[in-house]
Amino acid sequence: MKLFCVECGKETDDLLNGMCIDCYIKREELMKIPGRLHLTICPTCGSVRYKGEWKKKEFKDAVKEVVEKAIMVSPYLENKEIEIDLIRKGKTLYECKILLNGNIKGKPVNSEVYTELLVEKKTCLTCSRKAGKYFEAIIQLRTEREEEHRFQEVLEELKAFIREYQLEGRDVFITNIKEVKGGIDVYLSDNHLAKKIAQDIHSRYGGEKKASPKLVGLKDGKRVYRVTYLIRLPSYTTGDILSDGKDFYYLKSMDGKKVHIVNLMNWLELTCERKFMKNFSVVGSREMIKEAIVVSQSKEEIQVMDPDNYKTIELKKPRSVHFGRTARIVKTENGIFLLPTQKL
């Protein structure tokens, strides 16, 4: 069957809307866009709203997405490429020039349209909650040991957990950090994640954990609770020097249930259930561990320089390992101990 273009009458193999390719490109609009586009942006954090949901996005990318959603292009267009030029026309108004490139049945085509972009500023949910000091949960960190830096360490860990959740796109933030007697209170915007974070902290540091929900009201017919998670950190932590009254130990690592300690006399490693940790007392923290310069060493012995008085100390190696330039030592009232090499 022969096909003829309705515009120019030319015989053709392919009809697009009844026309040959040349007439189609000449006559038809290759792209259409509404006269005005809208974009809502949070002036505080720059989040962009799409269909009622706030998303973190670069302004440029947000504009591109809005344009691509609003634009209508010829169904015959292939290898579509869109370029957007924005010219600021007012406080919230932009002129938007859109360049389209592509091809139709192998023929390169391009088109150019203009529209307006109206940017509306509205504070997003997260920012308004932050401003209103909104919180759903409190994580209370307590310890028997009054040491500033321990809380700082756990707090940094907690912040790292939150950053991870934020990177996953979860909407969680710290509303407030309060120093209180015996510890710190961390106010969090999301109860569900606060619960997970409390678990994360607890499984890393051990100790006691308790959750106490408090009914604060109703929302959409559901009871709304504010939950306080109390974490009582154990008196010991990684890097501590412990004593059972007889020997000295180095606390190498720990998890939610078990503690790994090293006997400093013989470097034997022991794994201890949390509940048996009450048999140990903390004699010092990691600050007790000193880096000492190695003077000489044999298979069984090592001579190091005491960093406090530069005297040479001779110590027995519990195991025949080779030390590098330095060795870690601990001075206790019961003598000086050599710590295993970092690898052990």
How many binding residues for Zn ion (CB under 5 A)? 12
Nearer to Zn ion, 63 or 124 (CB): 124
Considering only residues 15, 28, 33, 44, which one is a binding residue for Zn ion as defined by CB under 5 A? 44
Pick one of 29, 36, 45, 120: the residue that binds Zn ion (CB under 5 A).
45
- Minimum distance between the CB of residue 41 and Zn ion, rounded to whole angstroms? 9
Q: Does 47 contact Zn ion by CB under 5 A?
A: yes
Where does the chain have alpha helices with state H?
Answer: 21-27, 59-70, 125-131, 148-167, 191-205
Q: What are the start-end ranges of the E strands in 193-334?
A: 208-219, 222-233, 241-243, 248-254, 258-263, 269-273, 281-284, 289-297, 301-305, 312-316, 326-332
With CB under 5 A as the contact rule, which of the stretches 117-125, 154-162, 179-187, 203-211 interacts with Zn ion? 117-125
Residue 17 in contact with residue 24, Cβ under 8 Å?
yes
* Minimum CB distance to Zn ion smaller for 23 or for 198: 23
Among 37, 39, 124, 292, binds Zn ion (CB under 5 A): 124
Q: How many helices and strands, by DSSP H and E, does the chain display?
A: 5, 25
Region of 34-42, 91-99, 150-158, 241-249 interacting with Zn ion (CB under 5 A) = 34-42
Give the residues across from 228 on adjacent strands: 138, 212
Residues 8-27 that bind Zn ion (CB under 5 A): 8, 10, 20, 23
CB of 12 to Zn ion, least distance (A): 7
Q: How far is the CB of 11 from Zn ion (least distance, A)?
A: 10
By CB under 5 A, residue 41 contacts Zn ion: no
Q: Does 42 participate in binding Zn ion (rule CB under 5 A)?
A: yes
**Secondary structure letter of residue 134 according to DSSP:** -
Amino acid, res. 55: K
C-alpha distances (whole Å) from 113 to each of 80, 87, 110, 116, 312 are 15, 14, 10, 10, 83
Between CA 214 and CA 223, with CA 217 as vertex, the angle to 5 degrees is 80
Q: For Zn ion, which stretch binds (CB under 5 A), given 39-47, 131-139, 165-173, 295-303?
A: 39-47
Closer residue to Zn ion (CB): 21 or 254: 21
Give the binding site for Zn ion (CB under 5 A): 5, 7-8, 10, 20, 23, 42, 44-45, 47, 124, 127
